[in-house]
Chains A and B, each alone.
Chain A
Amino acid sequence: ASVSDADFNERCVQCSEVNWGLTDGGRFYCRSCHNVTERTREVVNTDFISNTRVQTISKVLRKQEKTDGGCEWYVCEGFQLVLKKQAEALEALGVCPQMKDEILCNFWRCYLQKSKQAYCNRPAGETVKALSVCDSSTDADSELERPSLLHMLSVSESEGDLQTDCSFASSTSKVSESTSLCSGSVDGSLYLMKNQKEKLRMTMPMTLSFCYMALLWLREPMTLSDLLRFVVEGHIPYLNVFQHFPEKMKLCGLDLKIFCVESWPVYEEVYNKMLELAAFLDLPRFPDITDSCFLHPDMLCIKYLMEANLPDELHNWTCRVVKKICIGEVDFLTLVPGNKSTRKVKYDVLAAAVIVVTTFCVLHISFTSSQPKMCMFYSGGPYFEFKKWYKVIKCSLDVEQKKLDEERAKYLWRCEKPLFYSAKKKSKVLKRRRMVVNLQNQFGKLSGSVQPAEKPNPSSFQLSWYEENTDGSCFHGHSLKGILQEKCGLLTAMNPDYWLCTVKLCTEKLCGHLAHYREVDFPQSYHFVLRLFSFLLRIQPSYIHDEVCVIEHKLFNKKLCKKPKYKTTLRK
C-alpha cells in the first residue's frame, strides 16, 4: 500500500531517507531500508470503507482539514459507502455475509479498475484539479475554462428531477454563464461532464444493479422485485443514503445530482443495467441455477402460488409447463454475461407468467369454467372455484392496493440533512427546512391521534393465507377436480374454450415490447390475475403479459404453424 508523502515527513532513523510505505498492519516502514516504525498512520479513509485492504485513491494529495471541516473525497468513494450500507442492510435481512465481505467488494473493485477510477496507473481523476469547492469564489482567469453550469446539467443523462434543485439557484440568483461549478466532491463536475457511456458511469440505480448482481451470483432467495420492494419500503438504504456519509464528506452542488434520488428505481432500468454491468466487468458464466434454487421457476411458482392463494395442485401443472417449454434448463436460466443471443431471464416475471399461462392456457380456468352441480365436498376437500377465489382475493387486493396508494401519497422524500447547492444558498435552505418542520408539526397536531407510519417489517410474503382459518378463505388445499376431466386416461381441461393472447410476437427492437396489452382485448379474469401479480411484483401488467405471450408462443408454436383446428379457438 502506498502512502502520500505529505502524511509522514520524518526522516528514517536508520537511513535518513524520506520514503515511506504502509504495512498491512498500518504501520509506516521505510522503503529504502525496510525499517518498520511504531508510527501508525491515521488512515483517513477507513471512515469510508470497511476493508482496509481497499484504498480507492492512490496518488492524489489529500488535505485533511479544510476551512469548513470537510475533506476531499471522490465520487466513487461516495458510492462505495452507499454500497457498503446497502450490503449491511441486506445482511440484516438475512443475506449471507459473503455477499458483503466478498462478492460485492470484488465486483466493485473490478468495476473501479475497469472504469479506471482506481487500481490502475492513472486514475481518471488525476488530471482534474480540485474544482472550486462550495465556499470558494471563482477566479477570473479560470472562468473561461469551466463549462457553463447550465450546459452541464443538460448534458447529464441522469434524471431531470434534480434540475429543479439547480434551478433553485437559478431562480433566486439568476445564474449566468460564468457561475462556478460547485461540488463537495473533487470530481463531481467531471463525473457529470463527459459522456461516459463507454465507461459505464455509476449512478444510484446502478448500486441496486450491483446488489442484485451479487445476489444472483450467490443465488440468494431474493428476486429483483423483492429487492426493489425492500428498497421502497425503506429496508435498504437508497433514498437519502447520503445522510450516512461522514461529517467530513461535504455534499453540495453537483453532488446532489449524483447522489440524491427523487424517484423510485424502475425494474427494467435496474435489470438492464445489471446486464450491462456484468458484461462490462467481463464476468464469467454465473453459478448455475438448478432446480433446487429458489430462483428456479418450479420453486418460485410454489411461492407465488401460495401468495396468490391458488391450489397447491396447480404446481403439478406449472412444472409440466416448465418442462414442456424447457425453461427449467440450467443453461436457459443461468446468466452468461455478454451473450446477446440468449434472452435474459427475469425469474420473478417468468414464474408469474408460468402461473398465468397454466391457469388460462392449460386449464382454461375462467369465471364460468368451474361450476360443478353437486356438492363439492367429497373425496376429501372442496373443489376450486374461480369465482370464489376471485371474491376473496379481490377483497384483500383492494385493501392492500388502497394501503399502498396511500403510502405512496405519504412518502417523505426529504430528510434531516439539508441539501444546498452552494454555501450562499445554505441559509435560505436551512430557513426553508425550519419552516417546513414547523408547518409539519402544526398540521401534524391537527391530524388527530394518527401514529406516524412505521416501516412494515420486511417480509418476503405480502399476502398470507392460512388453512387453519375457518372462514374458508384459504384455497391452497382445494382440488382441481372441478375443472379437469378424464379423457382417454388423461386429464384435460373441461372448458374447451381459450383465447390466444397473440398470434404473432412483435419484434422487441422495434417497440421495446413483444406484445401489446390492452385491457379491452382480454377477459376480466385474465386482467384480474395480471393485476394481482402486477401488485405482488410491483411492475406493470404489460410486462407480465409480454412474458405470457412468449410462453404461450413456445407452447403452441407448432399448433400455430398449422392451420387452426376447431379445438384451438382463436378469439380475436
Chain B
Amino acid sequence: MASSHEHKLNFKKSKEVCLNYIQDAMLQKQWKRAAEFLTFYIESLEKDFSTAYMGPSEMIWRIGTEILCHHSHSSMKQFNSFIEQMKTVGVKRYLKVCLEHAFHLLCNGLIDEAYQNLSLAESWRFGEQTAIQDKEMKLIQAYRGLLDYYSWSKQKDILLEHGQNGFEDLSVEQEMHSCFRKAAMNLKEIIKIPGVWDLFVKCYVDLLEFYGDHNEACQVLNEYAYNSKFPANPNAHVYLYQFLKRHGESKKSLISALKILHDIVPSHELMIDFNTMLQKSKKRKKRQLGLEVIFAALDYAGWKENVKAWSCLARQVKQIVISEKHLDWIKQEWNSRKDWWPAFHFSRYLAKRNWQENESLSYEKALVAGILLGKDCKYFKYVSHQGCKAQVKRFRILKKFVNKHSPVYLRISGLSDSSVQP
C-alpha cells in the first residue's frame, strides 16, 4: 500500500521521536533542553496502556528524576513533589519508586526523611500487589533496618560519651536497645535471601558482637561465605577472616578462611597476611601454598611496587635456597612465569627506576631476580652494582649471597639436567 511512512505521523511515532530528543539532550547533559522535550512527552501518560517493557509512566519517572537531579535550578522540594506524583501513577511500581526516593534522600543527607518514607512504604498494602512486590518490600524493610542500625550507632556513641563523662542516660539506653531490636530483626531477614548484602551483614555482625552473641555472628558470617546459594563474594571471606582474627581464633581457621579468597581474588591485599601465616606453618603443604600465594599476587600490576609483598617472596625464596629443600616448588612457580616476569618486573628500566625511587624495593627484587634469573641478569647486576657503589651494606651481603647460590638458578631454570633435589 502506498503510504508515506516517513511523513505519516501519529501519536505513538511522534512520542517516540520526542523521546529520542530527550535522550540525546540527556546524553549531552543539556538539562534545559531535556526538560523542554519532556514537557511535550508527558501527555503520553494519558495514553499509558502499552504493554511495552517500559511504558510512558516509567519513562517519565526515570527521565524526570535524572533531569531533576542534574538541573541547576531544581530543588529538593520540587523533587519530592515530583516523586509523590510518580508514586500515584503506577501502582505496580509503587514500592520501587519509594525505595529509590529513599535512596535519593539519603544521598542528599536527609536521613530522617528517608526513614519516614521507608516506614510509610512499609505500611503500604494494595491487594495482590503487596504479594507481587514482595522483593521490594523486603528491601524497604532491610534499608529501614539499616537506618535503625545507624540510629543505634549514634545512640551508642552518645552513651559511651556520657559514660566517659560519668553520666548515665536511661532514655538513650532504652532508645538504643529499641533501635537494636528493630535493626536486628530486619537485617537478619534480608541476609537470609541469597545475594550480596555486604553492608547489612557488617552492620548485623556489629550489633551481635556488641551484645555478645558471638555464636550467632560467626554463624551468620559462615553462612554468608560458604552457602553455595549465595554468589561468590570475596568480601564475605574478608569479613569472616576479620571476625575470626578479632576473636583470636586459631591460625588454622584463619588460614582456611583466606583460602577461598585466594582462589577468588589472588590479588587481594590480605594475601600478604595469608602468605605470612602460611610461611610460618609447620605443614609442608601450607608452606608451598604460601609460595604459590605470593607469586600469584605479584602477577598483578598493582603489586609491582609493593615492598612488603616482595619482601615476603624474597624471604621465602631465600629460606628455600638456604635449606636447599623444595627448590622444585620454586621451579614449578617459575615455570609459567619465566617468559614474562623478566620483562614485567626485572627490566633494566625498572632496575633504574626502582633503585632511584625505592631502595628497599630494589633490594628485595634484586634478591628474587638474582635467584630466579641468575647473577648475570640485568636487574640484579644493575642494582647490586649501584648498591655496592653506594656502599650500602646489605647490598654487599646480597651480592655475596647470590654469587654463592648461583648454581640454584641453573637448576631452577631447567638448564642443568641434574635431577631436582627433593
A residues lining the B interface (CB < 8 Å)? 159, 161, 164-165, 167-168, 171, 262-264, 266-269, 405-406, 408-414, 429, 432-433, 435-436, 438-440, 442-448, 450, 512-513, 538-540, 543
Contacts and interface: CB of A to CB of B under 8 A. Distances in A.
A446 B35 contact: yes
B334 interface: no
A159 B50 CA distance: 17
B73 A268 contact: no
B39 A440 contact: yes
Interface string B322-348: 000000000000000000000000000
B14 A414 contact: no
A443 B39 contact: yes
A512 B18 CA distance: 32
A414 B82 CA distance: 21
Interface in B40-83: 40, 42-43, 45-47, 49-50, 60, 64, 67-68, 71, 73-74, 78, 81-82
Contacts of A539: 4, 7
A411 B4 contact: no
A513 B2 CA distance: 7
Contact of B14 (A268, A413, A433, A450): A413
Contacts of A266: 3-4, 7-8
A450 B36 contact: yes
Contacts of B60: 439
Contacts of B46: 414, 429, 432-433, 436
Contact of B49 (A164, A411, A450, A538): A164
B6 interface: yes
Given A409-B37, A436-B46, A439-B42, A538 B20 contact: no
Given A165-B49, A540-B7, 14 more contacts: A264-B7, A405-B17, A406-B21, A413-B14, A413-B43, A414-B46, A433-B46, A435-B89, A436-B43, A439-B42, A442-B78, A446-B67, A450-B32, A513-B2
B27 to A, nearest CB: 16
Contacts of A448: 32, 35-36
B17 A413 contact: no
B10 A263 contact: yes
A443 B9 contact: no
A171 B92 CA distance: 13
Interface in B396-413: none
Contacts of B18: 409-410
Nearest to B1: A512
A269 B10 CA distance: 15
B10 A409 contact: no
B358 interface: no
Contacts of B78: 442
A457 B2 CA distance: 31
B32 A447 contact: yes
A262 B11 CA distance: 5
Contact of A410 (B1, B12, B40): B40
B32 A446 contact: yes
Contacts of B36: 443-444, 447-448, 450
A405 B37 CA distance: 12
B22 to A, nearest CB: 9
| Chain B interface category by residue count | 35 or more
20 contacts: A159-B10, A161-B10, A161-B12, A164-B47, A267-B7, A268-B3, A408-B9, A409-B18, A409-B20, A411-B9, A414-B46, A435-B88, A439-B45, A443-B64, A443-B67, A446-B35, A446-B73, A447-B39, A513-B2, A543-B4
- 8 closest residue pairs by CB, A with B: A263-B10, A447-B36, A446-B35, A540-B4, A448-B32, A409-B18, A512-B2, A262-B11
A410 B11 contact: no
Interface of B: 1-12, 14, 17-18, 20-21, 31-33, 35-40, 42-43, 45-47, 49-50, 60, 64, 67-68, 71, 73-74, 78, 81-82, 85, 88-89
B20 A168 contact: no
A442 B36 CA distance: 10
Contacts of B14: 408-409, 411, 413
A460 B376 CA distance: 90
A366 to B, nearest CB: 26
B346 to A, nearest CB: 59
Task: State the majority secondary structure of interface residues on A.
Answer: helix
Residue among B6, B20, B45, B46 facing the most chain A CB atoms (10 A cut-off): B46
B49 A263 contact: no
Q: Which of A412, A446, A448, A539 has the most CB of B within 10 A?
A: A446
B398 to A, nearest CB: 68
B170 to A, nearest CB: 48
A167 B42 CA distance: 19
Contacts of A447: 32-33, 35-36, 39
B56 to A, nearest CB: 11
A513 B3 CA distance: 10
A443 B42 contact: yes
A433 B44 CA distance: 11
Contacts of B74: 446
Given A409-B40, A435-B85, A540 B35 contact: no
Nearest to B11: A262
B32 A409 contact: no
A164 B40 CA distance: 19
A444 B2 contact: no
Contacts of A439: 42, 45, 60, 64, 82, 85
Contacts of A538: 7
B43 A414 contact: yes
Contacts of A512: 1-2
A128 B72 CA distance: 61
Contacts of B50: 164
Given A409-B14, A409-B17, A268 B88 contact: no
B45 A412 contact: no
B23 to A, nearest CB: 11
Nearest to B63: A443
Contacts of B47: 164-165, 168
A223 to B, nearest CB: 15
A165 B50 CA distance: 10
Contacts of B71: 446
Contacts of B1: 512
A43 to B, nearest CB: 37
A374 B38 CA distance: 55
A268 B49 contact: no
Given A161-B10, A409-B14, A446 B40 contact: no
Contacts of A408: 9, 14, 17
A440 B42 contact: yes
A426 B50 CA distance: 20
Contacts of B7: 264, 266-267, 538-540
